[in-house]
């Protein structure tokens, strides 16, 4: 074989696509219930958009983006996440002009050059939503509740929600200063990665996965103790609303997430059903992002979630979508009947019924085997005898009953 798919990418095979369609449809239904409308943005954008919004110092921008120069020598990047593109589109198309609150969702592929492993791909899929234009804690909780509602609608209940406040442009720099100073006293004992972050991105040190770093930073000051009044009140309101909605959560003062644009609320949903890559979804508030990208100061909040990880849980739990198989398979018993079989199959399809027939000139026995393999609900064998009498035997392949059917009535029979 000459060609194989690129490392870290995966085909969604015909045997899996009905599961994907089922999951996507369930998401769309939930988004609709919350009155979010779909937005579809291009999968590539100017590199600067991502560097500016996600942050130059983040892992994504620093080492994971698929960036290339196109033939016009413009720097292009395959989108590593959805929020930056949605904000670009929001500003470019003046989406905020006609309404004070813009509620949108997206579903689609994202690209990051990470080391592939179970639950971590280079082309993966996310669904996500953004509520742009509202500074209220009510909006944060709507976004969190909607993400959770999607998992519930899919039968996934084994998840946990962690929340934090990462402060704003007033209290965060103050806290970062205090944290950097504290971290400097133990700098030489920290992992190399964490040492690099002490000055520029000290909050990421608290989020380090390194066990020794975790021990060393166990008693470091946490942002939740340094929030200003506005951020503290906002955080309190988020917590009390989550409680009122009956959504369990834990506060994790170390949660910062890998993107720079968050302010105030940050959250993550994890599942114990997954291995080391246990993050199902993450999100938060980004009150400075639209302005940062050249738009008017506009607050916003959103989440993004991985679809492959959700699929892994569905598979583990044996949650199967309703199968979409043909309603009827019409088999031709002889050459002379083939034309009737083909045209009737076509007429059924035009009438909205899923119908299948043989295109490989197979024997009757092989055709019947195929009808079973396709899990067709009914099978009908047509030969010269049936065409002469105008009647055939319709077999129910599920319960093995059969009934006589007048061939000229076949369309009305299946349309009922
Ligand atoms: P992030 O945009 O990094 O906050 O990621 C949001 C969600 O997308 C994560 O919680 C994962 O479920 C999923 N995700 C992120 N990166 C990958 C990846 N490389 N492969 C598969 N899923 C991913």
| Protein residue whose Cα sits closest to atom 12 of ligand 1 | 306
Torsion of CA 88, 90, 91, 96, to 10 degrees: -170
Q: What is the pLDDT of residues 287-345, one digit of tens each?
A: 999 999 999 999 999 999 999 999 999 999 998 887 789 999 999 999 999 999 999 99
Q: What pLDDT was estimated at residue 55?
A: 86
User: Is 9 inside any structural domain?
Assistant: no
* Same domain (yes/no): 162, 259: yes
Ligand 1 atom with minimal separation from the 112 CA: 19
- Calculate how far, in angstroms, residue 237's C-alpha sits from the geometric centre of ligand 1: 28
pLDDT at 414 over 80: yes
Same domain, 119 and 257: yes
Kindly give the distance from the C-alpha atom of residue 185 to the centroid of ligand 1, in angstroms, as a whole number: 33
Distance 288 CA to ligand 1 centre (A): 23
Q: What is the CATH number of the domain that holds 74?
A: 3.30.930.10
Mutate to test the pocket of ligand 1, among 85, 151, 304 (most ligand atoms within 8 A of CB): 304
Considering the domain architecture, whether residues 136 and 50 belong to the same structural domain is answered as yes
The reply to whether 401 falls in a domain is yes
Q: Output the average pLDDT for the chain.
A: 94
300 CA → ligand 1 middle, Å: 20
Do 20 and 143 reside in the same domain of the chain?
Answer: yes
Give 157-179 pLDDT, tens digit per residue. Answer: 889 999 999 999 999 999 999 99
Percent of the chain topping pLDDT 90: 86
Integer angstrom CA distances of residue 207 from 57, 204, 224: 15, 5, 14
- Mutate which of 62, 124, 257 for ligand 1? The one with the most ligand atoms within 8 Å of its CB, which is 124
pLDDT band at 261 (very low <50, low <70, confident <90, very high): confident
Q: Which of 263, 292, 317 is the last residue of a domain?
A: 317
Atom of ligand 1 nearest to the CA of 281: 10
Q: Does 212 reside within a domain?
A: no
- Indicate the residue among 285, 317, 349 that finishes a domain: 317
> What whole-number distance in Å separates Cα of residue 136 and Cα of residue 139?
6
Residue nearest to atom 16 of ligand 1 (CA): 120
Residue 259 predicted with pLDDT over 80: no
Q: Are residues 27 and 139 in the same domain?
A: yes
Contact partners, residue 340, CB within 8 Å, separation at least 6: 382, 387
Give me ligand 1 centre to Cα 305, in Å: 6
Select from 16, 26, 87 the least CA-distant residue to 305: 26
With a cut of 80, say whether residue 258 has pLDDT above it.
no
Kindly give the distance from the C-alpha atom of residue 306 to the centroid of ligand 1, in angstroms, as a whole number: 5
Ligand 1 atom closest to residue 120's alpha carbon, by position in its atom list: 20
Stated pTM of the model: 0.92
Q: Rounded to an integer, what distance in angstroms lies between the CA atom of residue 288 and that of residue 82? A: 17
128 has a pLDDT exceeding 90: yes
Quick one: pLDDT at residue 393?
Answer: 96
Q: Domain holding 391: CATH number? A: 3.40.50.800
How far apart CA 353 and CA 358 sit, in angstroms, is 17
For residues 365 and 261, state if they share a domain.
Answer: no
Q: Which atom of ligand 1 is nearest to the CA of 310?
A: 12
Q: How far is the CA of 194 from the centre of ligand 1 (A)?
A: 22
For residue 393, report the distance from its CA to the centre of ligand 1, in Å.
53
Rounded-to-integer distance, Cα 334 and Cα 344, Å? 15
SS3 244: helix
Q: What CA–CA distance (Å, rounded) separates 173 from 180?
A: 10
221 CA → ligand 1 middle, Å: 28
For 37, the domain range is 14-171+227-317
CA 196 – CA 199 distance, rounded (Å): 7
Give Cβ neighbours of residue 376 (< 8 Å, ≥ 6 apart).
Answer: 325, 326, 327, 328, 329, 356, 397
Radius of gyration of the chain (CA): 28
Domain end call among 298, 317, 336 = 317
Q: Looking at the structure, tell me whether residues 401 and 290 fall in a common domain.
A: no
Structure tokens at 286: 């980004």
Instruction: Please tell me the total count of domains within the chain.
Output: 2
pLDDT in tens, 220-240: 999 999 999 999 999 999 999
- The answer on pLDDT for 193 being more than 90 is no
Distance 340 CA to ligand 1 centre (A): 52
Mean pLDDT of 370-381: 97
Q: Are 322 and 22 in contact (CB under 8 A)?
A: yes
Question: Which residue owns the Cα nearest ligand 1 atom 11?
Answer: 306
Residue 124 has pLDDT above 90, yes or no: yes
Write down how long the chain is: 416
Could you tell me which residues are beta bridge partners of residue 405?
392
User: How far is Cα 132 from Cα 90, in angstroms, rounded to an integer?
Assistant: 9
Together in a domain, 75 and 136 = yes
Residue 201 lies in a domain: no
Residue 208 has pLDDT above 90, yes or no: no
Nearest atom, ligand 1, residue 279 CA: 10
Alpha carbon of 217 to ligand 1 centroid (Å) = 26
Residues 108 and 242 in one domain: yes
Alpha-helix runs per DSSP H in 110-154: 137-153
In a domain, 179, yes or no: no
Q: Which of 54-63, 130-139, 361-370 has the lowest mean pLDDT?
A: 54-63
Residues 232 and 307 placed together within one structural domain of the fold: yes
Strand ordering across the sheet containing 378-382 = 355-357, 328-332, 378-382, 391-396, 402-406
Asked if the structure places residue 217 within a domain, the reply is: no
Which of 109, 113, 117, 126 has most ligand 1 atoms within 8 Å of its beta carbon, as the pocket-test mutant?
A: 126
Query: Relative to the CA of 126, which ligand 1 atom is closest?
Result: 8
3-state secondary structure of 60: helix
Q: Are residues 21 and 91 in the same domain?
A: yes
Task: Provide the pLDDT for residue 200.
Answer: 82
Domain contains 197: no
User: From CA 171, how far away is CA 32, in angstroms rounded?
Assistant: 37
Give yes or no: residues 261 and 376 share one domain.
Answer: no
* DSSP string over 370-389: HHHHTT-SEEEEE-HHHHHH
Mean per-residue pLDDT, 95-103: 95
Q: pLDDT tier at 209 (50, 70, 90 boundaries)?
A: confident
Q: What is the mean pLDDT of residues 386-395?
A: 97
Q: What mean pLDDT do residues 60-73 have?
A: 94
User: Is 76 in contact with 48 (CB distance < 8 Å)?
Assistant: no
Q: Do the Cβ atoms of 143 and 163 come closer than 8 Å?
A: no
44 in any annotated domain: yes
Show the ligand 1 pocket: residues with CB < 6 angstroms: 81, 112, 114, 119-121, 124, 126, 258, 279-282, 304-306, 308-309
């Amino acid at each position: 074989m000459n060609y194989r798919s690129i490392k870290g990418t995966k085909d969604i095979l015909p045997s899996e696509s009905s599961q994907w369609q089922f999951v996507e449809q369930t998401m769309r239904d939930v988004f609709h219930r919350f009155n979010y409308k779909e937005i579809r943005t291009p999968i590539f954008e100017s590199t600067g958009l991502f560097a500016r919004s996600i942050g130059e110092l983040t892992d994504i921008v620093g080492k994971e983006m698929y960036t290339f120069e196109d033939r016009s020598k413009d720097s292009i990047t395959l989108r590593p996440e959805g929020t930056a593109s949605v904000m670009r589109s929001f500003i470019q198309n003046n989406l905020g002009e006609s309404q004070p609150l813009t509620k949108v969702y997206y579903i689609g592929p994202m690209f990051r050059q990470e080391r592939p492993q179970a639950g971590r791909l280079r082309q993966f899929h996310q669904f996500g939503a953004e509520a742009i234009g509202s500074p209220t804690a009510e909006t944060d909780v709507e976004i969190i509740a909607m993400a959770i509602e999607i998992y519930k609608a899919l039968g996934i209940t084994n998840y946990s929600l962690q929340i934090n406040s990462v402060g704003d442009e007033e209290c965060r720099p103050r806290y970062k200063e205090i944290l950097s100073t504290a971290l400097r006293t133990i700098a030489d004992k920290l992992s190399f990665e964490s040492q690099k972050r002490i000055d520029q991105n000290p909050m990421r040190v608290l989020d380090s996965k390194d066990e020794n770093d975790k021990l060393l930073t166990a008693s470091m000051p946490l942002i939740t103790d340094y929030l200003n009044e506005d951020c503290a009140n906002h955080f309190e309101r988020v917590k009390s609303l989550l409680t009122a909605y009956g959504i369990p959560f834990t506060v994790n003062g170390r949660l910062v997430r890998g993107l720079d644009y968050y302010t105030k609320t940050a959250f993550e949903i994890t599942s114990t059903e997954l291995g080391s890559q246990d993050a199902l979804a993450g999100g938060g508030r980004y009150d400075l992002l639209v302005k940062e990208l050249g738009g008017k100061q506009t607050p916003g909040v959103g989440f993004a979630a991985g679809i492959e990880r959700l699929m892994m849980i569905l598979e583990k739990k044996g949650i199967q979508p309703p199968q979409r198989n043909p309603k009827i398979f019409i088999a031709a018993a002889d050459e002379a009947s083939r034309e009737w079989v083909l045209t009737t199959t076509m007429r059924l399809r035009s009438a909205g019924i899923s119908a299948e027939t043989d295109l490989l000139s197979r024997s009757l026995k092989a055709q019947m085997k195929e009808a079973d393999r396709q899990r067709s609900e009914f099978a009908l064998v047509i030969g010269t005898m049936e065409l002469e009498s105008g009647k055939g035997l319709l077999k129910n392949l599920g319960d093995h009953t059969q009934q006589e059917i007048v061939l000229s009535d076949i369309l009305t029979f299946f349309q009922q």
